Structure 1
């Protein structure tokens, strides 16, 4: 009461002699200034980061800085183009439609193009997960039967409609769903993730959330950020624990607010092969009534079989009440040809928000379940056929072989000096770093021997993704032997300057203005579709 009197007296004194309209105008102006200040200071991107970007962006306007960046950019772009085009430079370039050729001529040219591929598949990290002769023969036999089928017309192609339903139902059962669990097939993991984000964005909008925000671990697949770009969603990236490489749960909980539309956990995530604490994320989702998506695109056809293979894991699927969706790629450890994945939901409430429906189109009522309209029915048929061919027993056997090989490599890497393993990977990906040398030198050295490893950043590291190809006799032993030889050589004969991946990634991580890195990535993508001589 006394405080009220003191404040009231102060305000009376402060505004003594003011007209009522003046007080009203001042109050309105102060309110507007406070709102503008709040919105400026408190954004998803911190004030410090925005200030740093502003400084760096304007620094590029200085002629000397701009010219130096341009020179380095041109050199890097030319190097990328040369490396990408080198294998096909002698093929010539078809720049306009030629006169028609016979099927035999086209096949002969295709074989000539194919000869430019020299990679030993057993030395790849991920990329080709099986490619066995038996599965290749099965898939290429199935494909022409359904080459012209299109699930957009289920009345015309009931076969692929039924096949898709069976693939989805088999996957729902695989992840311990019930009869209410549902979903659809997509063209790959990125589309599966995109559809989950779209579903939860629309679900949030229907509940009155104006600008939905996803809360994702910094290690979650880049497809989440890509989806947010397309869908005009906000993204809050949660840091990982530096020791376990799992998401920081305390930071995730702190990031949740009234705009949060989905929480994400990976099982496992791509960079380091670590499974996030799905049980705890599920509990957060239940507590705050927020959908939880489990991204299992990479390991989705390993982790459901690990317990039967003798490698039990903590719960990660629909047995956790808070888990509302799961993505898994049939074209990775499902061993189907590229172009298929599944997105699964706990029930139709979420799935219906994934759908796109245009009820008033003059062309009719248009409805599609995923981003695509017409879809490749043959991809669905191929995935269906491989799943039946493999069967549960086949997947359990393949999982056992893959995890056994991964654990064997993991134990051997632990014993090697000058490198360390990031976190405790339990599935098929192992990431290593080094405190003694630039770890990208190791990637370059292994590349020179034909091994294709994946470069990671923040922290600097590389990883190997173990596939069925690595389980063949002698492959793991050869990998470990050559890795050790490369480490020894780097330590005994350190290079005077970094080149190759060591130079590119070493430089990339030291550049604070990430827009420069984005521009380099644009140049790389330009080079991927360019022909020699024209830059187009």
Structure 2
């Protein structure tokens, strides 16, 4: 009989204690990252469905035929609600990033096939607001990334601005429905008309909002077509682990045309093992998220999804009105929901303005977790404002009576406080302007220990520099106020900020001895 090192009850008790330190995933207190339907029975259904397929390997649907059945039915549901015809096929992936990566891979392979022998690097053209997953895709698959500036006031991109960037080296254009930073619905049909005329593929990234926008009620303002009703749309991604309310991670990537879809696959028989045929980036993969998504779709149906989308939409409308009524803040653009971004109302004198990052920190002190987004200098010189992001879910409707007063109280607490000045912070932390300039230029060649020293000097790894692998999360957590951290991100060159953030996250998970070791 196998002897266990620790008792089951002790292991689970420790895990519960670890979870107690997390931000709450249910109840509406976290307005990013989690998507709470507010239906406990739906969570229980998803958990039981995932448990039933826990041992299943999604690598081989010919051995585990349940995987093939569930995937085809999930894709069929997605194709129907996104108005695809019989030529639209797809894959279930591990999340939005993988869906985006595969869309780019397929477009790159099709571009290469049409231009055999062409030595040029293909380009990917998208608004600067497109999800960062496409920056990752360009880096992974060797495309030149061409980001088009958007209107700072609205977050919207001009079709003409995209058209100016097009050429025969463009493998893919990407637009969002809606964008994550500002919840702006990009002009999909206008862009599609331009790309289709040039024979360029167009991807619609509906990862965050697709499964909500598809179920908008007749009471909401109609949206311009953004899915496969638009003839020039060639691929579309949408996450079931967002407004499909499934556990992480499960997404769909739908593709118009079987030949383009097959270019997303990887296959090889050039080894002595089993033939490898992978429709996604992974080989072995869990069937649990797929089973959970399938079960939720079967349980809810169109009417259930429409009801949940209505709850999120109503809550979004209340929050938008509430923010617009808070002196010193403004909602960016015309968000289509169920998310929005909040910026400072620059039309007011400084003493009446509310910095969105100070506001988010104050709201966190009251028990509400909002997401801080840094400002960004676009290539055309037009700066995008620093904002605070709110993702709204059906459960938010239940907590509005507590949330709205908290948002007002948080604004009252910080109104008139000057925004955190990243450049000034950098000078203070570095010990002078010259030292700050040296730090700002030090990304190239910065090794792990050097990056850790910088983090420690910024107070992000405890008071002292790390001495070894044991220095991880225990050596210092992020400060309670995140506004200064985001201000530093804005002030530092992107390369240095990215290098430091990599080091910070890597230090948090450096190896430590397992708990309970005897």
Q: TM-score range by the shorter chain?
A: 0.7 to 0.9
String of CA shifts for 1:502-533, please: whole Å, max 9, x gaps: 2111232123x222201221122113313689
Q: Which moved more, 1:105-114 or 1:194-203?
A: 105-114
Counterpart-to-counterpart distance in 2, 1:202 and 1:494? 50
Residue 480 in 1 paired to residue 404 in 2? yes
String of CA shifts for 1:158-183, please: whole Å, max 9, x gaps: 11111001101110111000111100
Residues 297, 328 of structure 1: 8 Å contact kept: yes
SS in 1 for 2:234: strand
Residue 508 in 1 paired to residue 489 in 2? yes
Residue 416 in 1 paired to residue 321 in 2? no
SS in 1 for 2:280: coil
Residue 203 in 1 paired to residue 129 in 2? no
Higher helix share: 1
Unaligned 5+ runs, structure 1: 1-97
Quick one: which of 309, 312, 315 aligns to 1:399? Answer: 309
- Matches for 1:125-274 after TM superposition, within 5 Å: 125-130=31-36, 132-208=39-115, 210-274=120-184
- Matches for 1:436-475 after TM superposition, within 5 Å: 436-457=353-374, 458=376, 459-472=385-398, 475=399
Cα 1:495–1:304 change in 2 (3 A) is closer
Residue 103 in 1 paired to residue 8 in 2? yes
Counterpart-to-counterpart distance in 2, 1:243 and 1:117? 35
**How far apart are residue 386 of structure 1 and its match?**
0.8
Q: Which moved more, 1:125-134 or 1:338-347?
A: 125-134
SS in 1 for 2:47: helix
Counterpart-to-counterpart distance in 2, 1:172 and 1:506? 42
**How far apart are residue 487 of structure 1 and its match?**
1.6
Cα 1:360–1:493 change in 2 (3 A) is closer
Give the aligned partner of residue 518 of structure 1.
498
Counterpart-to-counterpart distance in 2, 1:145 and 1:505? 43
Give the aligned partner of residue 70 of structure 1.
none
SS in 1 for 2:214: helix
SS in 2 for 1:264: strand
SS in 2 for 1:354: coil
Residues 354, 417 of structure 2: 8 Å contact kept: no
SS in 2 for 1:123: coil
Counterpart-to-counterpart distance in 2, 1:169 and 1:240? 35
Counterpart-to-counterpart distance in 2, 1:410 and 1:361? 57
**How far apart are residue 243 of structure 1 and its match?**
2.7
Counterpart-to-counterpart distance in 2, 1:177 and 1:308? 21
Equivalenced residues, count? 434
SS in 1 for 2:211: coil
Root-mean-square deviation over aligned CA pairs: 2.2
SS in 1 for 2:263: helix
Cα 1:494–1:320 change in 2 (3 A) is closer
Quick one: which of 266, 285, 290 aligns to 1:375? Answer: 285
String of CA shifts for 1:38-69, please: whole Å, max 9, x gaps: xxxxxxxxxxxxxxxxxxxxxxxxxxxxxxxx
**How far apart are residue 489 of structure 1 and its match?**
2.2
Residues 274, 426 of structure 1: 8 Å contact kept: yes
Give the aligned partner of residue 527 of structure 1.
507
String of CA shifts for 1:297-321, please: whole Å, max 9, x gaps: 0001111111456442110011110
Cα 1:182–1:482 change in 2 (3 A) is same
TM-score of the aligned structures, taking structure 2 as reference length: 0.80
Unaligned 5+ runs, structure 2: 347-352, 377-384, 426-478
TM-score of the aligned structures, taking structure 1 as reference length: 0.77
Quick one: which of 123, 129, 137 aligns to 2:29? Answer: 123
**How far apart are residue 331 of structure 1 and its match?**
0.5
